[in-house]
Structures are given as structure tokens and as C-alpha cells.
Structure 1
Amino acid sequence: MPHKHVVMFSSGAGSWAAARRVVDQYGSENLYLVFSDVKGDNPSPHAGEDEDNYRFLRRAAWDLGGQLVWLSEGRDIWQVFHDDRFLGNTRLANCSKFLKQRPAREWLEANCDPAETTVYVGIDWSEAHRLPAIVRSYAPYTAVAPLCEPPYLDKDDILEQLHARGIKPPRLYDLGFAHANCGGFCVRSGQAQFKNLLKVMPERYAYHEKNEQDLRTHLGKDVSILRDRRGGTTKPMTLKEFRERVENEQINVDPYDIGGCGCFVEEENEAA
């Protein structure tokens, strides 16, 4: 049985670069690009990935060859939060568990023999500390992070490689986002990313702000994605409150408080 090379393909530049290294070393004959879509059946352009990511996903997959495996659990993140009665945040992202980790794992177990399969993720050398958790979470499959190995690349290097191959990167990078996943909205994001989303995509921000308010009403709890740490205490800060403080210049946002996605780099039992 030929050895399978399975790349967790996020529709961002990093996962393409990781897959490119796999193809350069092993070819694309037994390559599988596994994309777990968080949009579900929601027709809203603000749900799931940014619309340009879907363009990039198809173009990047065509460049790499192999088979693009498109998975969808059926729900979007807000449906998960509603059904699970829990609002995801920087510590616990149940959207990752239900919409990405589980569908990908189920596909792996249904289609791939652990003894004949290597799984690849797109983290780079700056996130190498996450690798032990990745290895544990994918066992008994072998998990590898190609971008944690030399030659080491930064985001600009990867974007240059994309342009050299005639591939336009996802537009979110040009719009100031460090990560191009989940439409620029991720419960793991820091305040700087939410501020940027409010600035460049106010309609998308408003969509998520409304969904957060609706969920708070549904749960009857004072929950939020963001936290207010002023005065030495930590308390919830809703997207509505954050927007109003930004608009009224009542908050100093750390420009380096970007946060980050980690859908395939944490163990599911830690996100349960």
C-alpha cells in the first residue's frame, strides 16, 4: 500500500508552504489536502472563511496537485456555540473541536492506515513549542511540521514564493491580518486583530457582534470573547463594548496583541 501524505490545509499561506515542501520531497501522487470548512450550511458571506480564501484554496490545491478533501460538519461556529451552550474564547475554542478537529480525525480514521500515513501541519519554526502537543494529538498517526525544519521561512518569504508561482495570496494579508483564517474573525484573536477587523470589515464585525449578543441572550449569561483587564481585574468585554470604546478612543489596544489560530495544534481533550 502506498504511503499517504495528508496535509491539514487551512486555506492560509502557511499550510500551502508546508504542502509545497511535501510535494517537493515526495511528489503529489499520494497527497491529500484536507480542508475543514467552518462555514457549514450558512449562506452568509460573513460566516466561515473570507470569500477570497476559497479562491486561494482552489488555486493553491491546483498548484500542488493531489486530492483536495473538502469537509464540512454542517454547522458554523455560532451554531456550535449555541448547541454547546458555550462561547469559544482564547482558552477554549469548541468551534475548533467540532468543526475542524473531529471531522478531520474521522476522515483520517476512515481512509488512512496509521502505519502508512504521515500527517502534516502548517506551523512554522516560531511555533515549534506546539509540536509535542501536535504529535500527541495525532497519535497513532505520525505528525510532522515541515516549516519547523530548515530552511526557515517567515511570512514574507512564503508570500514571495506564492507570487513566484503565480498565486495571489488571500487578500486578508494585504488587509493587515497576520492570519488569513476564519474571515479575520477568530475567538483566539487578540484585541489588535479585532480592531483591524472593525476597521477594514465593519459589516463582518457587526455580524459577529450581533451573534455574540444573541448568544448572551440565549444563554442568559455575561459571557464574551474578549476580556477587560483594566484596574487589575478581569471581566467580560463584549464585541459591542469593545467597538464603542475603539470608536470613542477609550481604549489603548496593544498593536502586538494579535493572538492566533490553533485549530490543529492543541489536543482535543484540552478544548473539551
Structure 2
Amino acid sequence: MSFSIFPLTSANMAPIAQSLHTPHIVSLSGGLASAVAAERVIQRYGREQVALWFADTRYEDEDLYRFLHDLMARWQGALYWYTDGRTPLDVAEQKKLIPCNMAAPCSYELKVRPFRQFIAAMPCLPMVHIGLDRHENRRLASVKASYAKAMPDVQVEYPLLWEPYEQRPLMDVCLQDWHITPPRLYSLGFKHNNCGGRCVRQGYSEWLRLLRYFPARFDACQEWEEEQRAKGGPRAHRSFCAMVRQGQKQAYPLREIRTRLEGALW
């Protein structure tokens, strides 16, 4: 056997989905949690019963793509690889906002909505499997509630909640069980493998980490943020990051984060 990549766009997605009869589908993010979830689903139901989906934000770390290909070499079969064409910052600019933890339309626009459109076009609605674990109580509830409202006939499962629970760090599972090198962002201390370490929802410490390890990415985000703030209106007082100062949550622009780090170093 071998694996195949099926490139998807908004134009060809529905016809491809209409020919897909698998009763299970896993949404892969390119991170360890969704990979372990996919492994569990495949082990329980068999590879031929499971469709694998990935949404490319065009904003990812290069090593994420290597990781996906290593996984597919293990799992074989097809990977449905959707590309909207926009990046998270493209989406934010169209929405006329600076995204942050409280407002991040990129995830819905680039991942959630097309994924739901894909499964809605399938001949029979599959069971949806998502890589959230028992430590993410708020998201476990909110994701199921979202599906119940938008697609009430879809059943959502969390394979990381299946017993027996995996007690090892997921990096160890990847190395010890699969003999696959985990995505490099984890080894650098990033919590997730999303968007090349520049997720718009992340906090101060993660932006500092991005500046230390990927200064060119930080520079590009800072430049974009300043361009958006210069456009005036609500954006003039917003930023990716926020800090609580004197009891109030306030914008914390990336330029200030850079200045603070440089001051600590010098």
C-alpha cells in the first residue's frame, strides 16, 4: 500500500466528498493530539473505515508538513488536504480586525466551516473525531455544543477520552510507538503545532518564544499589526496580545514585547 494526497478547494470539495462512504472522519491539525486521536480511531475501526482531513492555513511551520507525510507513510490510504488560499492574517484583514484570543475568525473560516461543508456533502454523515483531551473541559463542551447547533445529526467523539487513557507525554507516544520524530515546535517549548508558533490566540510567553526562535516570523507579525493599527478605528487600540495592567485588560503590541525582551537582555 501507499498513501495519496487529495488536494481540496472550495471548487472541487463537494464532488470528492460525494464519493466518500467512510463512516468515520478525523480532523487532523498537524499536531500530536489529533495524530494520536487518528491512531486510536484507526486501531479501533480499521483504516478503510476512516477518512483523514487536514486544512492547510498556509501559515504553518515547514516541519508540520514533514510530520503529516511521516504519519501517512504509517497509516497509508488517502489524506484529504484542503486549502482555502487565505492565511489567518488575510482573513483578519478582510474582517477589519486584529485577531486575538477573544476574536479569531481564522479557525472557523479556514478549518471548521470547510470541514463541515465536506462532511455535509458526503452520502452519509460520518462520526467526527477530534483530538481534545480530558484537560480541555471548556473546549470539549463548546465543540459538541457547536456541532449540536450547526449539524445536529452529526455525532462527535473524542478518542483521547477513550479508556485506557494515555498517561505518557504524546511526544513519547510518537517516538516510542511510531518511531516518528515529533514536530519540531514541541521540542522548542511551543504548546501547539499551529500556525508556525504564531497562533493569534496565544499569550505573552508564546510571543516571546516566537521572537527567540523565529525572529523573522515575529517581525512579519509586528509589521502587520502596526499596519492594521495605523488604519485607525477600533484597530488602532487592538493587538494580538493583551496584558492585565492596573486591574484592566489592555492591548500589548508586539513592539512593546520586543522592547521588553531587548531590555531584559541588555
Question: Normalization by structure 2: what TM-score?
Answer: 0.84
Preserved contact between residue 125 and residue 147 of structure 1 (Cα < 8 Å) = yes
Determine which of 27, 32, 37 is the counterpart of 1:13.
32
Q: Are the counterparts in 2 of residues 38 and 99 from structure 1 also a CA contact under 8 Å?
A: yes
Instruction: Kindly indicate whether the alpha-carbon contact (under 8 Å) linking 2:21 and 2:122 is maintained by their aligned counterparts in 1.
Output: no
Residues 120 and 204 (structure 1), Cα distance of their counterparts in 2 relative to 1, 3 Å cut: same
Shift, 1:249, TM fit: 2.9
Alignment match of 2:129 (pick from 120, 130, 149) = 120
Q: 1:102-113, aligned counterparts within 5 Å? A: 102-113=113-124
Structure 2: gaps of 5 or more residues? 1-19
Contact residue 122 and residue 145 of structure 1 kept, 8 A: yes
Would you identify which runs of 4 or more consecutive aligned residues in structure 1 move more than 6 Å?
A: none
Match of 2:184 in 1: 171
Shifted more, 122-131 versus 185-194: the winner is: 122-131
Flag the 1:58–1:92 CA change in 2: closer, same or farther, 3 A.
same
Name the CA distance, whole Å, in 1 between partners of 2:181 and 2:65. 12
- Aligned partners of 2:119 and 2:185: how far apart in 1? 30
**8 Å contact 1:4–1:112 — kept in the other structure?**
no
Give 5+ residue unaligned stretches, structure 1: 40-47, 251-272
Deviation at 1:3, TM superposition (A): 4.7
Counterpart residue number, 2:86:
75
Q: 1:112 to 1:127 in 2, by over 3 A?
A: farther
Alignment of 1:1-272 (within 5 A): 3-39=22-58, 48-114=59-125, 117-138=126-147, 139-153=152-166, 156-164=168-176, 165-220=178-233, 221-249=236-264
Q: 2:123 and 2:93 mapped to 1: Cα distance?
A: 32
1: distance between equivalents of 2:94 and 2:154?
A: 30
**RMSD of aligned C-alpha atoms?**
1.9
Tell me the SS of whatever aligns to 1:125: coil
* Cα distance change on mapping 1:234 and 1:95 into 2, 3 Å: same
Indicate if the aligned counterparts of 2:131 and 2:159 stay in contact, CA closer than 8 A: yes
Aligned length: 239
Identity value in percent = 35
Deviation at 1:140, TM superposition (A): 2.0
| TM-score normalised per structure 1 | 0.82
Deviation at 1:189, TM superposition (A): 0.8
Point out the structure with max Rg over C-alpha. Answer: 2
User: In structure 2, how many angstroms separate the alpha carbons of the residues matched to 1:151 and 1:160?
Assistant: 16
Q: How many Å apart are 1:131 and its aligned residue? A: 2.1
